[in-house]
Amino acid sequence: MPSTEYISSTDIAPAPSTNGHELHPSLEAAHSEEVQEIMGKMPNWIIRRGIILVGLILLCLFTGAYFFKYPDVIPARVLISFANPPVKIIARNSLPIQNLLVENNEVVKTGQILCVLENAADYADVLRIAVMTDQVDSALSLRVTIESLQLPVGLQLGELQSQYTELQQSIAAYQFFLHHNTYRAKISALQKQSAYYGELNSVLGQKENILQEQYRIQQNRFAADSSLVQDRVISRNEFNESRKRILDHEMNTKDNKSNIIQNNLQQTEYEKNISETAMQLQNEENSYEQKIRDAAKRFKGAYSEWKQRYILESPMNGQVSFFKIWKSHQFVQAGEGIMMVTPPTDNYIARGDISIVRAGKIVAGQRVLIKLPAYPFEEYGMLRGHVVSRSNVAMDSTYSIEISLDNKLITSAGKEIPQQPQLFGEAEIITENKSVLTRLFEKIYGNIRR
């Protein structure tokens, strides 16, 4: 401490008064050594209490900093949509609408035609031929299908006219072949002749049985005549006559067998001709059928291209919503979204983008709070969810995350957001709760590590 210089009372000159009189002796005592010592030194009790007060304040601050926690939040932009998202219907050509076949908010099915863009064909005629072509192409027995098929005429098919003409000519040629070919008549005649030879074979077989019986009888007679000629009961001439008769019966039997063989050969030839004619008929018929199926496939291929250019159809079951069209003959631009089909579901899922900064702290299961700009959270509350997954790699300096909504579209305030195909929102991903003290030490430790 700095040294205190003591000054004697004799060295202190009395201060002159403003009015020329000297000060009172008690005021002079105030400048004495003891008074100066007391006035220049702070009391100990004030120091002790000050230190205690400052210590209590610091203790309260550290205690509060330890127990007071707030979440570490990572922001993200999110898009909430159906788990099966709605599909935008886009015009492929810049053309007016020829036929608008659905109403706004109408429920549609997969493959249902929504509208037809302007072209030279009449959609009803094209659809009629398309159905007929499918029937022809998928027929198990094309002959039965073609025989009962009535070909329409005077149709307006535009770009599909040449393919339909080819199909029409192929079907007409096959129908003519079925009703006027000579193969069936030839087969019928050959079958009749073969049947006659079959009957003749039956007669010859019966004759063979009779001849065999006669031959056995004649053999028995010849054996008796042989004994009689040896006993000289009959003459040699009579014996020779008996022998001649048995030879004649034997020849007749062999001639009949030869006739049976010749008849069988002829019948086999007829059956061969029938088989060859039937094969020729089948080949011709297959050729006509193949031409029809090829023509049908070419028509279907052209029809598919025609549909790609002029037909807009629903890709799923759902509800169609108009955006930029509302009536027929309205012009649409190529690449322009004109309708949207929303699937019938209330299962929502949120997908978001986050920056690469602190992205490593995001793991599955973390809580998410979503604020919807269209529905102020001060009034409607926030949607609650949790992280399902995060992409393993970043694209364009952002990671993709998938969020599942805990209570669908019901907010923390108990209000239900109306169902709609898409909702944009701002998400806050809560990674963990940290105390102020922890964050302070992390800052200090981070600076030290540098």
Q: What whole-number distance in Å separates Cα of residue 360 and Cα of residue 329?
A: 54
Question: What residue ranges do the domains of the chain occupy?
Answer: 71-83+345-449, 119-313
- Domain 71-83+345-449 part of CATH 2.40.30.170: yes
**Greater confidence, 129 or 9?**
129
Output the CA torsion sign for 293, 299, 300, 301: positive
Strands (E), 51-189: 69-82, 87-90, 95-100, 107-108, 113-117
What integer pLDDT is reported at residue 180 of this predicted model?
80
**Greater confidence, 374 or 276?**
374
The stretch 23-47 carries a mean pLDDT of: 59
Q: What percentage of residues in the chain have a pLDDT greater than 70? A: 82
Q: What whole-number distance in Å separates Cα of residue 269 and Cα of residue 261?
A: 12
Mean residue pLDDT of the chain comes to 78
**Greater confidence, 36 or 427?**
427
- Domain 119-313 part of CATH 1.10.287: yes
For the cut 70, the answer to whether the pLDDT of residue 251 exceeds it is yes
- What letter would DSSP give residue 360? G
Instruction: Confirm whether pTM is higher than 0.85.
Output: no
Q: What whole-number distance in Å separates Cα of residue 429 and Cα of residue 414?
A: 21
Q: Half-sphere exposure of 387 toward its Cβ, with a 13 Å CA cutoff?
A: 26
The stretch 260-286 carries a mean pLDDT of: 80
The stretch 421-436 carries a mean pLDDT of: 80
What integer pLDDT is reported at residue 9 of this predicted model?
42
For the cut 60, the answer to whether the pLDDT of residue 405 exceeds it is yes
Which of 176, 154, 135 has its CA nearest to residue 299? Answer: 135
What integer pLDDT is reported at residue 426 of this predicted model?
92
DSSP string, 168-213: HHHHHHHHHHHHH-SHHHHHHHHHHHHHHHHHHHHHHHHHHHHHHH
What integer pLDDT is reported at residue 5 of this predicted model?
42
The stretch 349-357 carries a mean pLDDT of: 87
- Summarised one tens digit per residue, pLDDT across range 210-230 is 777 777 777 777 777 677 767
Q: What whole-number distance in Å separates Cα of residue 429 and Cα of residue 73?
A: 5
Residue whose entry in the numeric block shows the structure tokens 């070909």? 151
What integer pLDDT is reported at residue 3 of this predicted model?
40
CB 141 within 8 A of CB 349: no
Which of 291, 109, 132, 266 has its CA nearest to residue 200? Answer: 266
What integer pLDDT is reported at residue 275 of this predicted model?
81
Output the CA torsion sign for 113, 118, 119, 120: positive
Q: Kindly state the greatest CA–CA separation across the chain.
A: 223
DSSP string, 54-91: HHHHHHHHHHHHHH-EEEEEEEEEEEEEESS--EEEE-
Query: Which pLDDT band holds residue 42 (cuts at 50, 70, 90)?
Result: low
The two tokens of residue 387 are 């992280």
CB 204 within 8 A of CB 263: yes
The stretch 313-331 carries a mean pLDDT of: 83
Q: What whole-number distance in Å separates Cα of residue 139 and Cα of residue 135?
A: 6
- Summarised one tens digit per residue, pLDDT across range 181-210 is 777 777 777 777 777 777 777 777 777 787
Q: What percentage of residues in the chain have a pLDDT greater than 90? A: 4
Q: What whole-number distance in Å separates Cα of residue 145 and Cα of residue 149?
A: 6
- Summarised one tens digit per residue, pLDDT across range 91-134 is 888 888 888 888 888 888 988 888 888 888 888 888 888 888 88
